[in-house]
Structure 1
């Protein structure tokens, strides 16, 4: 039987009285728990849905060069990822709260349908701008799939089944992250890059049908069950619209500012500077509104989207910061490593995707194994997170010293493995920590917040390293190429092959140094996980014990 070894100490008698703990009765297997074929349908459908949303953040990493060579605009290529990541990372908390009000099944299926339809639209894009715009909407659907899919098991199953269910979800992520870049590369090498997105349509329909058959209209333990007879406009009044607008605004402005810088603009340019100035204002407005909504709840405004009880929880804040920094490591590695192998080492797109497998497969495999290990060993979660943080630092530090020559050294794969194990530990530990550090009524938005911070960290981290490295890349290329050649090379990297052999060698080394600079920046980001983990220290540590 799984037990919570430690509950957070809450300040104030009122807060102590309001804590809803997971009781012994919930650990047993009463008749109302869904079992049999319906449980199998839900599990498989959820794995398919989450696997698709995760795969879409990586599958295009090996196809982006071919996409931009077809549609043009390599200097805007990072927007293909960031447009998806802005909405993917900007909506998990919001959609989690919406599902609290309108129901898990209704919102989950709506998001999955949105993701599937706009995946088809991405595949039909005729310009890079169209692709970027469709990716925005696709990301909204994916954020809901991830947010609801990863927490649904906490309400679907008794507590002692959570680790096994999390292991199953981690396995779906393992498969998607491991094979997505290779599938993307294979499709592009066959001249079918559009199927990188179109493949989601039949897969999404299959997952939707399974979830429609398996999921009940409402689970007894989901918040919407309490007011399921309310009319839609009564439910809508429960949504914290000012909080929604402030949160989305902060996410979009911050990421858009970094993307403008990544395209070659200086941080001091009016566009970038204004976006960076507005982002913290939206953040402060959001924080103030959540505090105000919590204090005046039920009298003047709707229930806050992210209650101040969560924002003032030191342990939960440490979890959010960990999610943010580890997300930056994951996204930057998955996007930039295959590109490095293609540009610096003259590999094909499919060969570049295969070279990412040591990182992606080990990361996902570690997440799956750790789902079970965490409940078997009587070791505080804090220690596992410290180990994971140190492994991330070692991995990116080693990769930052990778050779810029055309020959690939085996050590590059070893450093990928180190970083992969580190982020794999973080992925599952942070997921399983959620119900152990927050009240049950906050479970959905807390889980959404962890996903949102991880995805937002990926978006911000990728934008940051690209903006810094692109500035240096342009300057270094200008020393060996004409301005016209630099422009052409940044737009279409395939033009490297049109340069004289000696110049090609020099240009590839310059690109290699640019990618190494990105990893140097990631060292600082990975190291920041250590103090964030220590923020979670408690006298009685949290242990997942069976």
Structure 2
């Protein structure tokens, strides 16, 4: 059978099953729009790193400049799960359009900001749109891409994320060095308009769109949303302001931390009560607690939380170090980070290739965290001289390779552990945990860096000079030659202390990842058959005919069987006519829908009891 005929048969089978299928230019345009939208949202998490000092020098208050990033990451991480669930209720397309427009409008607002306070507020609103784009781009791939092309489309989406991380610091440095920093945000306008047009006119309308009404709004987990956002906000505010504006022992910080703890405890309790009663209460839990009932899923979520610390802190702190300690321009600071970002992208791509051939995602997860910890430790020993040591680039490669491996392998581990109906929310949970870890890590380590830096400067600077430097590091240039050199070296020592703290959290990721050991990880190819089963709209799963499997040694294909109570798939062997004779008499092979040549020459069989 020719390749064209095989493709046609696969497409027709998917359409018969009710799976939304795009072909030709609509498919290419939709995937392109999703990739471009994801690139913009991810770009804004890193593009600011090489522009932060310039922005703080222009608007003032360097000691509060980290809020430019923290405010974005706070809403970005806080709304990932929320948009995932809202799209399940209200539909992918309307929520994706809302996210893109939200991101675009407030990007314009960021560029017109006149004070640091305005920029922080607009960045927080921009982060809401960015969260929706990130969460829904991945979810939409599973909705509109033919399942024979899901792997290729997912690869394109992953490459967009990697390229955004790669281009962010470099592009931010180039823009800041050659024009106003405001174009860091205005650059989103032309690309955002193009994405909006593609989604509005090409993206299919049939991917879960719902009519807005009282019954629809009742499905939204409003208590979960309120508790989750409040808890995250109070936690990050307390960590960012502690040791800077308020003492760690002040009543304000204590109340913030206590309030955050109570919100998270209340969130967990509410989701625990809601999850088994979602059908009765007609409300979809924001985070189904059945996910963490699995040791592997719980350990993986804990791992990505700890890996968020070194990733976000390094991306933000390293370009600042290059500019302050080594005297780099923002553009050169971005270019000197290419080994780190390039190794991250390479590690992510290699993980996809390796796990596609070998079922060793957990092994890669543990190895990557070990590599990441070693890289963090090496980065904490960087010289504090003005000249950038060449060994720094090797350290970046080690650290970046660990980043790429752990980010991709954690996704694979989660994907092979949860049922497909929970795939979108589990993906949102992984991303949210990583971002939340990064926000907390950045707030904690920035407070440590500021405190360490301030205490060193107090030994040789006057009160006025100290205040000026903490207000903006650009004022270092106004110091005398001797004090300028001492100040730069002091910042280098503080940055190394910051990385030692990060190394400790990376070590915690190693310990947590060990508990994510998988006894029998599912074959990733079976997930494609499960997707078809889910798209039929009935509670379909794949059940193992254990007595038959014991008698059959070779796997010819897999089947999908409906049971009323199961939501977790497992593999099924479809026996040949010769093999049926060795099966127990009570085993009756079900009727099959055969999709010829779906994958690697195998014939995949799909069985539905409601057919």
Q: What is the distance in 1 between the residues matched to 2:517 and 2:11? A: 27
Q: CA deviation at 1:33?
A: 2.0
Moved more, 208-217 or 67-76: 208-217
Q: CA deviation at 1:495?
A: 1.1
2:428 matches 1:425: no
2:83 matches 1:105: no
Partner of residue 123, structure 2: 135
Partner of residue 515, structure 2: 535
Show the 5 A alignment for 1:383-398: 383-398=363-378
- The structure-2 alpha-carbon separation of the partners of 1:300 and 1:339, relative to structure 1 and needing over 3 Å to count, comes to same
Determine if contact 2:310/2:503 at 8 Å carries over to the other structure: no
Paired positions, count? 514
Determine if contact 1:163/1:371 at 8 Å carries over to the other structure: no
- Please identify which structure carries the higher helix content: 1
Partner of residue 95, structure 1: 83
Partner of residue 496, structure 2: 516
Instruction: Kindly report the root-mean-square deviation, in angstroms, between the aligned alpha carbons of the 2 structures.
Output: 1.9
2:161 matches 1:153: no
2:233 matches 1:249: no
2:35 matches 1:35: no
Q: What is the distance in 2 between the residues matched to 1:155 and 1:380? A: 27
Q: What is the distance in 2 between the residues matched to 1:303 and 1:338? A: 42
Q: What is the distance in 2 between the residues matched to 1:26 and 1:512? A: 59
Partner of residue 76, structure 1: 64
Show the 5 A alignment for 1:408-487: 408-487=388-467
Q: CA deviation at 1:42?
A: 1.2
- The structure-2 alpha-carbon separation of the partners of 1:264 and 1:419, relative to structure 1 and needing over 3 Å to count, comes to farther
Q: What is the distance in 1 between the residues matched to 2:383 and 2:124? A: 36
Q: CA deviation at 1:461?
A: 0.8
Partner of residue 535, structure 2: none
Q: Secondary structure at the match of 1:62?
A: coil
Show the 5 A alignment for 1:176-191: 176-191=164-179
Q: Secondary structure at the match of 2:257?
A: helix
Determine if contact 1:167/1:369 at 8 Å carries over to the other structure: no
| Cα deviation digits, residues 113-146 of structure 1 (max 9, x gap) | 1001100000000111000000110000000100
2:195 matches 1:207: yes
Q: CA deviation at 1:417?
A: 1.1
Q: CA deviation at 1:101?
A: 0.3
Partner of residue 253, structure 2: 272
| Cα deviation digits, residues 319-372 of structure 1 (max 9, x gap) | 211221222222111110000000011111111111111111221232133223
Q: What is the distance in 1 between the residues matched to 2:494 and 2:12? A: 55
Determine if contact 2:22/2:146 at 8 Å carries over to the other structure: no
Determine if contact 1:29/1:158 at 8 Å carries over to the other structure: no
- The structure-2 alpha-carbon separation of the partners of 1:166 and 1:299, relative to structure 1 and needing over 3 Å to count, comes to closer
- The structure-2 alpha-carbon separation of the partners of 1:295 and 1:29, relative to structure 1 and needing over 3 Å to count, comes to closer
Q: Secondary structure at the match of 2:278?
A: coil
Q: What is the distance in 2 between the residues matched to 1:106 and 1:69? A: 40
Structure 1 gap segments, 5+ residues each: 1-24
Q: CA deviation at 1:206?
A: 1.0
| Cα deviation digits, residues 79-99 of structure 1 (max 9, x gap) | 000000100010101110000
Q: Give the alignment's TM-score, normalised by structure 2.
A: 0.81
Determine if contact 2:225/2:286 at 8 Å carries over to the other structure: yes
- The structure-2 alpha-carbon separation of the partners of 1:26 and 1:297, relative to structure 1 and needing over 3 Å to count, comes to farther
Determine if contact 1:402/1:412 at 8 Å carries over to the other structure: yes
Determine which structure has more spread, i.e. the larger CA radius of gyration.
2
1:341 counterpart (311, 318, 322): 322
Q: What is the distance in 2 between the residues matched to 1:542 and 1:266? A: 50
Q: CA deviation at 1:300?
A: 4.5
Q: CA deviation at 1:52?
A: 0.7
Q: CA deviation at 1:265?
A: 3.2
